[in-house]
Structure 1
Amino acid sequence: MATPLSADALVSALRNEGVTLVEHAGWRTHNRNGRGGWGPVNGVIVHHTVTSGTSTSVSMCFNGRSDLPGPLCHGVIAKDGTVHLVGNGRANHAGRGDGDVLRAVVAERATLPAPDRDDTDGNVHFYGFECVNLGDGKDPWPAVQLDAMVRAAAALCRAHGWSARSVIGHKEWTATKIDPRGFAMADFRARVAARLGTKPPATPRPPAHQPFPGAAWFTKGPTSPVVTAMGRRLVAVGCSAYATGPGPRWTDADRASYARWQRRLGYTGAAADGWPGPTSWAALKVPYSS
């Protein structure tokens, strides 16, 4: 049982384990927290997507379906081993499952009970990784993909102090699912356990500058220390339109200040509308904030 990792802590844990990451725009605030609880977390559920192709799979997992809004997981693991982060918080991936299974995971028991009821909301308690595979028992699992899956699961176990027994398949959570298909979860847990038995890599230093969070992130009116750090940089470079602040909530003053920065860079017209873009953001050099 643990408090969910922050977005930055999740990124650090995965990178520490040697995972290749792609952070998709808006993933840090993309969740279903308004529809139910998120945490305490107790483990990791592994899924297969029943899709082919990285872009199609990532788009589906980020956006969801008409009957099930996204995110449908926290990360999508592609055939090439890249982990694409698509959600941070409650995600529609586990659904309802057996409370006895949850209790066995919490206790890290060697044997899981067969799920025979769906009485517990798994989206509260589990991180989820959707792994690109048709799930027909014929679609192969490339070695590089399986290695990334093991590393991703081990990263979360290591970060929370869990053993490999905290990693389960969706089919072990509920009898209504068959995923992941094509390998045995007992063998997968053995690989995670072996990974956890190795010495963890040194913790990497955080980036010097804040990565661009994506254009859509700003249009949602975020409240974040990233906004404060950006505002302070705009003040420092002489582009302030603030009467007070800056503060953590995105406001019209932030947009007006950023428009001044865009004009400073030579942008005009619609290109200087105050909505940050990747090029102007990189030039501003917003300090990294955890």
Structure 2
Amino acid sequence: MATPLTADRFVAALRAEGVTVVEHDGWRTHNRNHVGTFGPVVGVMIHHTVSAGTANTVEMCFNGYEGLPGPLCHGVIAKDGVVHLVANGRANHAGGGDPSVLQAVITETYGEQPPAPRVHQGSAGAVDGNSRFYGFECVNLGDGADPWPAEQLLAIERVAAALCRAHGWGARSVIGHKEWSDWKDDPRGFAMPTMRGRVQTRLDKGPAKPAKPTPTPPKQPTAEPFPGASFFHKGQSSAVITAMGRRLVAEGCSAYTSGPGPRWTEADRLSYAKWQRKLGFRGSDADGIPGPSSWAALHVPKTTR
């Protein structure tokens, strides 16, 4: 267990490992420390976002969404391998998890994988992971088909190794969200034991050369930003709704008999509910009214309203 790194040491550790870093405005003081402690820390947790597009995802992870306030992680790892820092301190990323996993990570005594988790957020015996782990969200739809580019996997390896090196941990201090909570399946698309092997190999070789200077901010996003749930109501007419409908049709989630068109209709709601269910939402979370997470994953092209 260790004291969390200061913002300056955090950035320095990442860059010393060869990570290309973008510092989001305000990240150094952005946290959830008012609701609980951050630290002592024991490891690094890797997630996937169930979203597409860097700018939209960074915004979501910085601000959070209805029912889960931000920050949602410490850094967002984009598909191009750039790491966008959004928090310093406690973040809403891990939730409740298995105490046997926590102990296995602290002692680093497990084999290929930590013990299978048997608890989750809100269940009896769950322990607070938000106070114990650094969290990194990786841009990926999480459907098992969305690719993980080599640059992104290398960035995950470097980020994990940087924090392990800074705290004197081994690679067994790096786990996936699915290894912490029996409710979770992320990250999906690559194997955590393989990633831990990569991290340990890097730790054994020593730190990489520093990365090049921080790049300029990302270009203006090409996706339509989430307009808010209240935007979608009877009588609303907008090119955004047409663009949304066309994306739903392309994703095989159409309930349209004609169109889609600019006016919000029941067919739009039913189509969007199909999209929410495709992403894994159920019950009231699949009511057909767009939310920030499902909207980001749909990647609606930017329009002129």
TM-score normalised by length of structure 2? 0.66
Aligned residue in 1 for 2:145 = 138
Aligned residue in 1 for 2:16 = 16
| Offset of residue 198 of structure 1 | 1.2
1:150 equivalenced with 2:129 (yes/no): no
Q: Which secondary structure does the structure 2 equivalent of 1:153 belong to? A: helix
1:159 equivalenced with 2:161 (yes/no): no
Residue 135 of structure 1 aligns with an amino acid whose one-letter code is G
Q: Which secondary structure does the structure 2 equivalent of 1:22 belong to? A: strand
Q: How is 1:53-92 mapped onto 2 (pairs within 5 angstroms)?
A: 53-92=53-92
Residue 72 of structure 1 aligns with an amino acid whose one-letter code is L
Task: Determine if contact 2:18/2:210 at 8 Å carries over to the other structure.
Answer: no
Q: How is 1:273-288 mapped onto 2 (pairs within 5 angstroms)?
A: none
Aligned residue in 2 for 1:243 = none
Aligned residue in 2 for 1:117 = 119
Which structure 1 segments of 5+ residues have no match? 205-290
Which whole-Å deviations, capped at 9, do the CAs of 1:225-283 have from their partners, x for residues lacking one? xxxxxxxxxxxxxxxxxxxxxxxxxxxxxxxxxxxxxxxxxxxxxxxxxxxxxxxxxxx
- Count of residue pairs brought into register by the alignment: 206
Which whole-Å deviations, capped at 9, do the CAs of 1:22-77 have from their partners, x for residues lacking one? 00000000000000110000000000000000001100000001101100000000
1:32 equivalenced with 2:32 (yes/no): yes
Q: How is 1:164-183 mapped onto 2 (pairs within 5 angstroms)?
A: 164-183=171-190
Q: Which secondary structure does the structure 2 equivalent of 1:123 belong to? A: coil
Q: Computing the radius of gyration over CA atoms, which structure comes out larger, 1 or 2?
A: 1
TM-score normalised by length of structure 1? 0.69
Aligned residue in 1 for 2:196 = 189
Which structure 2 segments of 5+ residues have no match? 121-125, 212-305
Residues in 2 aligned to 1:49 and 1:125: alpha-carbon distance in whole angstroms: 20
Residue 59 of structure 2 aligns with an amino acid whose one-letter code is S
Aligned residue in 1 for 2:261 = none
Residue 61 of structure 2 aligns with an amino acid whose one-letter code is C
Residue 117 of structure 1 aligns with an amino acid whose one-letter code is V
| Superposition RMSD in Å | 1.6
Residues in 2 aligned to 1:129 and 1:104: alpha-carbon distance in whole angstroms: 20
1:44 equivalenced with 2:51 (yes/no): no
Residues in 1 aligned to 2:46 and 2:209: alpha-carbon distance in whole angstroms: 26
Residues in 1 aligned to 2:47 and 2:198: alpha-carbon distance in whole angstroms: 17
Residue 85 of structure 2 aligns with an amino acid whose one-letter code is L
Residues in 2 aligned to 1:201 and 1:68: alpha-carbon distance in whole angstroms: 36
Residue 149 of structure 1 aligns with an amino acid whose one-letter code is I
Task: Determine if contact 2:17/2:209 at 8 Å carries over to the other structure.
Answer: no
| Offset of residue 199 of structure 1 | 2.1
Q: Which secondary structure does the structure 2 equivalent of 1:190 belong to? A: helix
| Stretch of structure 1 that moved more, 190-199 or 14-23 | 190-199
Aligned residue in 1 for 2:274 = none
Task: Determine if contact 2:46/2:176 at 8 Å carries over to the other structure.
Answer: yes
Aligned residue in 1 for 2:96 = 96
Aligned residue in 2 for 1:126 = 133
Aligned residue in 1 for 2:252 = none
Which whole-Å deviations, capped at 9, do the CAs of 1:85-143 have from their partners, x for residues lacking one? 00000000000000110000000023311100231000010000000000000000000
Percent identity of equivalent pairs:
68
| Offset of residue 202 of structure 1 | 6.9
Q: Which secondary structure does the structure 2 equivalent of 1:124 belong to? A: coil
Residue 168 of structure 1 aligns with an amino acid whose one-letter code is I
